[in-house]
């Protein structure tokens, strides 16, 4: 019974513990003098997965000591094989944000842009996360009244 309660508690924390984390934000020039502004948002994301952390968790919860040792070894190998600075969890596709420039150009037919805000953030649920790059901004319409 106590083990069951612990499992439920652990699972609840894992599911409810999802949280957003801001890594980087950049705000560009804002020009409100050229016409009405139409906001837009472009968001691309990729699954982030920390395999080493998962193996460590597995080693902690493994029942037999040999399994635990094996998983610790796996976590160590993964850690040394994926060396380097990390922002959020590692991803298996380094080109997921490659199309943001093309998307920004596509979303604004007038080709007049202002107030571009670039955000790098993540939503974490344990060792899994959604690694997000989003670009927010305003498309300047051709008439002369302001309307943010």
Partner 1 sequence: MKKLFLLLTVAMLSACTSSIHMSQVDVGSNDANNVDIGKVIEIEKSQKNILGFVYDTDYVDLAYKNLLLECPNGTSMINVEYLTNHGFFSWTDKIRIKAVCL
Query: 57, 100, 107, 128: which one contacts partner 1 (CB under 8 A)?
Result: 100
Contact range with partner 1 by CB under 8 A, out of 4-12, 14-22, 56-64, 130-138: 130-138
Cα–Cα distance, 140 to 32 (Å, whole number)? 8
Query: 14, 36, 58, 70: which one contacts partner 1 (CB under 8 A)?
Result: 70
Judged by beta carbon, residue 16 or residue 142, the one nearer partner 1 is 142
Cα–Cα distance, 50 to 92 (Å, whole number)? 11
Tokens at residue 110, please? 């007038």
Cα–Cα distance, 103 to 135 (Å, whole number)? 10
- Torsion sign (Cα): 60, 61, 63, 66: negative
Query: 65, 81, 144, 145: which one contacts partner 1 (CB under 8 A)?
Result: 81
Structure letter (DSSP) for residue 91: B
Least distance CB 15 / partner 1 (angstroms): 25
Strand partners, 44: 133
Task: State the residues that interact with partner 1 by CB under 8 A.
Answer: 23-24, 26, 28-29, 31, 34, 51, 70, 74, 77-78, 80-88, 90-94, 96-98, 100-101, 104-105, 108, 111-114, 116, 118, 120, 131, 133, 135, 137, 140
């Amino acid at each position: 019974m106590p083990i069951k309660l612990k499992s439920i508690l652990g699972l609840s924390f894992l599911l409810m513990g999802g949280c957003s984390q801001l890594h980087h934000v950049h705000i560009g020039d804002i020009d409100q003098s050229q016409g009405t502004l139409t906001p837009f948002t472009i968001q691309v994301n990729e699954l982030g997965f920390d395999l080493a952390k998962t193996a460590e968790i597995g080693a902690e919860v493994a029942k037999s000591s040999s399994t635990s040792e094996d998983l610790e070894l796996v976590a160590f190998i993964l850690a040394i094989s994926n060396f380097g600075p990390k922002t959020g969890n590692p991803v298996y596709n380094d080109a997921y944000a490659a199309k943001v420039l093309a998307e920004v150009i596509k979303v604004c037919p007038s080709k007049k842009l202002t107030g571009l805000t670039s955000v790098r953030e993540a939503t974490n649920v344990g060792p899994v996360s959604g690694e997000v790059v989003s670009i927010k901004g305003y498309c300047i319409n051709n008439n002369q009244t302001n309307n943010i």
